[in-house]
């Protein structure tokens, strides 16, 4: 190794594979071999091997040679003792000396290595390069060095720095090359390692998925990576030396400046989320990490930006969506939800005006939904339009059920002149409309974005539109479903209120009971009360409580449905009648027993049933009185006639007997007529007595024929006056029936009087009443009363037996209703049939006592 | 001798009236229905008609109207049973001499007939 500089251009600054620049100044004529070398004083004067060129006298040479030889020997010894590999070469480059270390290291002998033999010790890979370089150095006559691998005696190659320095004599002749070969293997390896790492880091820097920028203490850009260029639009050339604050949105500059100052002064990493401005002016949301580079050198810092515009937008969208869904869940009104949705869309899609139109429930017209930023007049102009192609993008979207993009109304001729003029009048140039469809595919409305400049959606905007369209769809469908549900619930509550039917569920094991509003009303408890079985039992009428408990116990023990009626007793003493029906709900063996059922307040029904019973009784009474009145009139007439006869005959008789010559014959005749009429009146009285004689025993055994005869006799006058005749056809083998004589008389009376009435307008045929009796099917007697009257009105036939139904101009219409109730009271049936010919037949059956008795012929 | 015609569907009334009126001294014709009277041709001779209100077929008031239609001016005394009192004002309004409720007294009957037939022509002897 050199401890000093053997020549003026020192080796202290190593320039690999290059020649020292300053050599030109020092040795202007170094290409000439004759140029002498000014040797440093501190170095020995090396002998020159071989014949030097130039002219010198022999003696001097000899002497010099001797001195040189001595010095050379000393030098060689010195050289051989140093650890470095050293060599010398003649001006032509052939090596004339290699020190011991060199020979030991390579395993070559001096003879082998001398001249150009050293080439054997050079790694073949590097040899040609080295030799070529060595020749160029030789030719230049200037120092040179090159790195190449030297092969050790054991065949291992290691990197060495080969350095050659020429020596010139006083005349400037090149006399010798001195060379040194230094082991640089370790250094070289370290350098390669550094180079590799630097390359990796550079790559990392460039390929980092975030924008990375290196700044100096003035926050000027030193270096940027590719992502930086992509994110902010500045190429490295544009960015470098630019103040980083150029990226910062004006409103963020102050806080940004503070951040940077803090980062650089504290040496701490600073993280923040902020807004940056791209080269094109667009603002983007970024998350920023600023970190100082901790070196001894000037202060620098790395700043890493991540583009969080998408994330921010997604977050905002998500938050907005959440807000909307909350509104939907809370049951906000549809207009409010849709308006909030529009506003959110407008925040998300800058410059857009959002509009939602709804399809009218009639399915044919557009209805305004929400469009908070559109001119009201425009929205109103669309409201109510009939949905068809050409009325605007929304109409088309609904018709085709496809998104419709109108990029520019000025040039797009798909829509009517009128519509385009309308849109343009309000400064609307573009509209992207998407149909909002229900899950089933039905059109609910349209979701549209309007712009004031011509535009087409980007794929990103498409996504946003779809996302919001789906929310709108949920909102509309949900609201509609809720409206329907609310309507149904209201309807159900109303129905429950109207029918006084409440519903309940009862989970038996836990005694969890839920009630509908009406159930609360029925039990007269407040809504906030949590119902329990104990509470229900408290309301049950004490008399009915054992029945109630038994019914409930039995049903729950067997897991069966239950149905029963009981009464409630309220503190004020009021009583309600309840009908309870409960179903076992979703019963599986494993599931806890739960009932779902209804309680119906049947108090009114009970009351009206009672009232109806009373009314029926009263009616029957009234009817009987009325019938008696009719019969009385009939009877009075029957008795009045013979009575009148008797009176007149009596007068006549007196006249025949008075005077001088009484006419006994005429008097006798008159008296005979008196007797006859008297008997006739007596007959009427007899029948009258039979009519009332057994009134006190309603369930006597009767012969139906007998009753028929009695009534025919009683109605003789009515029938006669009605211009009608009665014929009978009685079966003579009828068994006795058990019943109320008066009621059956009343029944027949009604039917006969009806028949007379039915024939009152008949003039073209005989007015005939045919009464027949016979055995009916089974154990019953069948009685038929047939007339030749106007017949049955087919429409009135159903109502015939209703109380107060009448086809007559007079009367209350009670007759047939009472008749039917009498027949049914006797266990029979009453019905009417149209005759084949004119008129109608009323038939009724009365069962005879079937208690094992032999129904022999008992009647006259 | 004045002729009194009696129209009533009831045998007892017809026969008893015939007896009484003959005992008083009237000539009497009886008919069991209005149609029979109209068919008899007696109207030209009848001085007074005693007419039952309620009869099968043509009723008393119907006959009264029919006689008016035919312009046969026969004085009519109606006789009527219980429950038909409301017919009285109507038949009187239409020109009947009287309307007697059965059973009626001899005096009432004679009074009515007197009203129908001027008392001079027939000789009515008092009891």
Most B CBs within 10 A among A633, A646, A655, A762, hence the mutation to make, goes to A655
pLDDT of residue A53: 47
Work out whether strand A768-775 and strand A737-739 pair parallel, antiparallel, or are unpaired: unpaired
Rounded Cα distance between A572 and A776, Å, is 56
Listed residue (A725, A839, A720) closest to A788, CA to CA? A839
The pTM is what?
0.39
pLDDT over 70 at B119, yes or no? no
User: Are the Cβ atoms of B57 and A652 closer than 8 angstroms?
Assistant: no
Whether B3 shows a pLDDT value over 90: the answer reads yes
What pLDDT is attached to residue B52?
Answer: 92
Q: A637 CB near a chain B CB, below 8 Å?
A: yes
A 10 A CB-CB count for A38 gives 14
- In 3D space, the residue among A349, A351, A456, A342 whose CA is nearest the CA of residue A393 turns out to be A456
pLDDT recorded at residue A632: 67
The edge-to-edge listing of strands for the beta sheet with A594-601 is A512-515, A501-507, A594-601, A575-584, A562-569
Q: Sign of dihedral through CA atoms A62, A66, A71, A73?
A: positive
Cβ contact A715:A745 at 8 Å: no
Cα–Cα distance for residue pair A519/A527, rounded to 1 Å: 10
What is the three-class DSSP state of A134? helix
**Cβ contacts of B81 on chain A, cutoff 8 Å:** 636-637, 640-641
| Cα–Cα distance, A88 to A98 (Å, whole number) | 7
Angle of helix A741-758 relative to helix A704-714, nearest 10 degrees? 50
- Are B9 and A640 within 8 A, CB to CB? no
Averaged over B19-32, what is the pLDDT? 92
For chain A, say whether B32 makes contact (Cβ under 8 Å): no
Running DSSP on this structure, what letter comes out for residue A849? P
Query: Is B10 in CB contact (< 8 Å) with chain A?
Result: yes
Tokens found for residue A596: 């779902």
Q: B interface mutation test: which of A626, A637, A639, A644 has the most B CBs within 10 A? A: A644
Low-confidence ranges of chain A (pLDDT < 70): 1-59, 61, 264, 294-299, 586-590, 612-634, 687-698, 795-815, 817, 849-860
Backbone angles phi, psi at A107, to 5 degrees: 80, 10
Contact call for B82 and A680, based on CB within 8 A: no
Category of A325 on φ-ψ map: left (φ > 0), alpha (ψ -120 to 50) or beta: alpha
Alpha carbon of A671: minimum distance to chain B alpha carbons (Å): 10
Q: Which of A314, A225, A312 is nearest to A275 (CA)?
A: A312
* C-alpha torsion A294→A295→A299→A305, nearest 10: -40
Residues of A in contact with B24 (CB under 8 A): 655
What does the pLDDT read at residue B122?
Answer: 47
Give the residue among A174, A192, A184, A186 at the shortest CA–CA distance from A85: A184
Q: Do B105 and A647 touch (CB under 8 A)?
A: yes
Q: Report which DSSP code applies to A789.
A: S
* Cβ distance of B12 and A673 shorter than 8 Å: yes
Contacts B57 to A, Cβ<8 Å: 723
User: Can you give the pLDDT at residue A764?
Assistant: 86
- Could you tell me if A672 lies within 8 Å of chain B, comparing CB atoms? no
Tally helices (H) and strands (E) across chain B: 5, 5
Q: Do residues B105 and A647 touch, judged by C-beta distance below 8 A?
A: yes
pLDDT value of position A638 = 76
For residue A475, say if its preceding peptide bond is cis, omega within 30 degrees of 0: no
The pair of three-digit structure tokens given for residue A74, joined into one six-digit string: 């000393």
Alpha-carbon gap: A638 to the closest alpha carbon of chain B (Å): 10
- The helix-helix angle for A459-499 and A334-348 (nearest 10°) equals 170
Interface of B with A in 92-111 (CB under 8 A): 102-106, 109
The 3-state DSSP class for residue A100 equals: helix
CA distance B108 to chain A (A): 11
Query: Confidence band (pLDDT; 50, 70, 90) for B113?
Result: very high
Residues 6+ apart with CB under 8 A from B121: B2, B47
Dihedrals φ, ψ of A687, to 5°?
-65, -40
Q: In 3-state terms, what secondary structure has residue A289?
A: strand
| Contacts B55 to A, Cβ<8 Å | 721
Q: Residue A796: what pLDDT?
A: 62
Helix (H, G, I), strand (E, B) or coil at A34: strand
Q: Do A645 and B57 touch (CB under 8 A)?
A: no
- Long-range own/partner contacts, residues A302-305 (CB < 8 A, 24 or more apart): A302/A212, A302/A213, A302/A214, A302/A215, A303/A212, A303/A213, A303/A215, A303/A244, A304/A208, A304/A210, A304/A211, A304/A212, A305/A210, A305/A211, A305/A212, A305/A213, A305/A228, A305/A231, A305/A232, A305/A276
Helix axes of A334-348 and A309-330: crossing angle, nearest 10 degrees:
180
Q: Measured between CB atoms, which of A640, A641, A649 is closest to B19?
A: A649
Nearest to A655 among B9, B24, B83 (CB): B24
Please classify residue A622 by burial: count the beta carbons closer than 10 Å to its beta carbon, then call 0-12 exposed, 13-18 middle and 19+ buried: middle
CA distance B24 to B95: 25
- Residue A640: its chain B contacts at CB < 8 A? 81-82, 102-103
Question: How far apart (Å, rounded) are the C-alpha atoms in residues A682 and A688?
Answer: 10
Q: Nearest residue of B to residue A766 by CA position?
A: B57
β-pairing verdict for A840-847 and A830-834: antiparallel
């Amino acid at each position: 190794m050199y401890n000093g500089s053997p020549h003026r251009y020192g080796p202290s600054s190593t320039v690999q594979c290059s020649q020292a620049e300053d050599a030109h100044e020092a040795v202007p004529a170094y290409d000439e071999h004759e140029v002498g070398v000014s040797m440093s004083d501190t170095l020995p004067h090396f002998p020159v091997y071989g014949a030097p060129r130039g002219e010198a006298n022999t003696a001097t040479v000899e002497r010099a040679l001797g001195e040189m030889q001595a010095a050379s020997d000393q030098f060689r010894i010195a050289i051989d003792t140093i650890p470095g590999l050293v060599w010398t070469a003649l001006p032509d480059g052939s090596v004339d000396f290699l020190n011991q270390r060199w020979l030991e290291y390579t395993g070559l002998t001096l003879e082998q290595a001398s001249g150009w033999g050293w080439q054997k010790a050079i790694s073949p890979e590097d040899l040609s390069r080295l030799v070529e370089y060595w020749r160029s150095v030789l030719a230049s006559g200037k120092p040179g060095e090159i790195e190449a691998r030297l092969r050790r005696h054991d065949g291992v190659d290691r990197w060495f720095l080969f350095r050659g320095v020429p020596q010139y004599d006083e005349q400037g002749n090149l006399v010798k090359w001195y060379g040194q070969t230094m082991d640089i293997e370790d250094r070289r390896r370290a350098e390669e390692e550094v180079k590799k790492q630097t390359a990796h880091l550079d790559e990392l820097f460039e390929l980092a998925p975030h924008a990375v920028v290196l700044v100096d203490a003035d926050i000027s850009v030193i270096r940027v990576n590719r992502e930086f260029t992509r994110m902010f639009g500045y190429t490295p050339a544009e960015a470098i030396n630019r103040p980083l604050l150029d990226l910062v949105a004006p409103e963020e500059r102050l806080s940004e400046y503070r951040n940077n100052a803090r980062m650089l002064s504290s040496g701490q990493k600073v993280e923040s989320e902020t807004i940056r401005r791209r080269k094109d002016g667009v603002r983007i949301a970024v998350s920023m990490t600023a970190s100082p580079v901790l070196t001894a050198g000037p202060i620098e810092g790395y700043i890493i930006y991540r583009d969080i515009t998408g994330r921010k937008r997604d977050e905002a969208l998500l938050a907005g969506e959440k807000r909307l869904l909350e509104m939907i869940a809370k049951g906000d009104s549809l207009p409010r939800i849709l308006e909030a949705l529009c506003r959110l869309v407008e925040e998300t899609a800058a410059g857009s005006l959002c509009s939602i139109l709804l399809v009218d429930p009639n399915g044919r017209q557009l209805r305004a939904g929400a469009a908070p930023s559109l001119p009201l007049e425009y929205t109103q102009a669309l409201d109510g339009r009939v949905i068809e192609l050409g009325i605007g993008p929304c109409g088309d979207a609904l018709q085709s059920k496809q998104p419709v993009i109108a990029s520019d109304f000025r040039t797009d001729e798909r829509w009517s002149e009128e519509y385009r003029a309308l849109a343009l009048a309000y400064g609307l140039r573009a509209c992207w409309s998407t149909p909002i469809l229900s899950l089933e595919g039905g059109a609910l409305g349209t979701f549209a974005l309007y712009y004031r400049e011509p535009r087409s959606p980007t794929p990103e905007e498409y996504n946003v539109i779809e996302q919001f369209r789906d929310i709108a769809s949920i909102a509309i469908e949900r609201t509609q479903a809720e409206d329907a549900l609310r309507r149904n619930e209201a309807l159900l509550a109303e129905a429950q209120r109207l029918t006084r039917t409440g519903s309940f569920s009862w989970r038996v094991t836990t005694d969890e009971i839920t009630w509908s509003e009406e159930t609360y009303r029925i039990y007269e408890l407040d809504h906030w009360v949590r119902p329990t079985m104990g509470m229900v039992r408290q309301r049950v009428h004490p008399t009915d409580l054992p029945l109630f408990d038994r019914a409930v116990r039995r049903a729950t023990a067997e897991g069966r449905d239950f149905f029963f009626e009981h009464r409630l007793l309220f503190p004020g003493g009021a009583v309600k009648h309840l009908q309870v029906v409960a179903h076992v709900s979703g019963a599986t063996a494993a599931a806890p027993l739960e009932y779902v059922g209804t309680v119906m307040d049947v108090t009114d029904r009970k009351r009206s049933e009672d009232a109806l019973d009373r009314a029926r009784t009263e009616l029957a009474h009234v009817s009987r009185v009325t019938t008696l009145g009719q019969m009385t009139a009939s009877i009075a007439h029957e008795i009045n006639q013979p009575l009148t006869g008797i009176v007149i005959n009596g007068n006549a008789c007196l006249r025949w007997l008075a005077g001088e010559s009484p006419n006994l014959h005429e008097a006798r005749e008159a008296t005979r007529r008196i007797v006859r009429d008297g008997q006739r009146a007596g007959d009427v009285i007899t029948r009258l007595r039979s009519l009332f004689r057994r009134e006190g025993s309603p369930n006597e055994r009767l012969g139906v024929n007998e009753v028929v005869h009695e009534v025919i006799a009683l109605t003789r006058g009515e029938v006669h006056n009605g211009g009608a005749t009665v014929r009978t056809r009685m079966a003579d083998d009828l068994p006795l029936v058990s019943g109320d004589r008066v009621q059956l008389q009343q029944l027949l009376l009604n039917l006969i009087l009806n028949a007379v009435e039915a024939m009152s307008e008949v003039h073209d045929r005989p007015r005939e009443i045919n009464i027949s009796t016979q055995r009916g099917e089974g154990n019953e007697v069948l009685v038929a009363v047939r007339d030749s009257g106007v017949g049955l009105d087919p429409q009135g036939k159903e109502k015939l037996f209703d109380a107060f139904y009448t086809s007559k101009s007079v009367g209350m219409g009670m007759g047939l209703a009472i008749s039917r109730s009498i027949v049914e009271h006797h266990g029979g049936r009453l019905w009417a049939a149209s005759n084949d010919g004119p008129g109608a037949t009323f038939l009724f059956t009365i069962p005879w006592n079937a208690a094992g008795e032999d129904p022999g012929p008992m009647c006259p | 001798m004045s002729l009194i015609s009696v129209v009533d569907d009831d045998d007892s009334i017809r026969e008893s009236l015939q007896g009484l009126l003959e005992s008083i001294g009237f000539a009497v014709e009886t008919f069991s229905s209005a149609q029979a009277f109209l068919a008899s041709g007696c109207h030209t001779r009848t001085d007074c008609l005693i007419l039952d209100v309620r009869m099968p077929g043509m009723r008393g008031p119907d006959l009264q109207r029919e006689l008016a239609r035919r312009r046969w001016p026969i004085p009519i005394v109606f006789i009527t049973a219980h429950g038909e009192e409301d017919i009285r004002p109507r038949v009187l309004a239409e020109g009947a001499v009287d309307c007697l409720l059965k059973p009626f007294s001899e005096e009432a009957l004679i009074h009515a007939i007197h009203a129908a037939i001027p008392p001079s022509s027939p000789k009515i002897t008092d009891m």
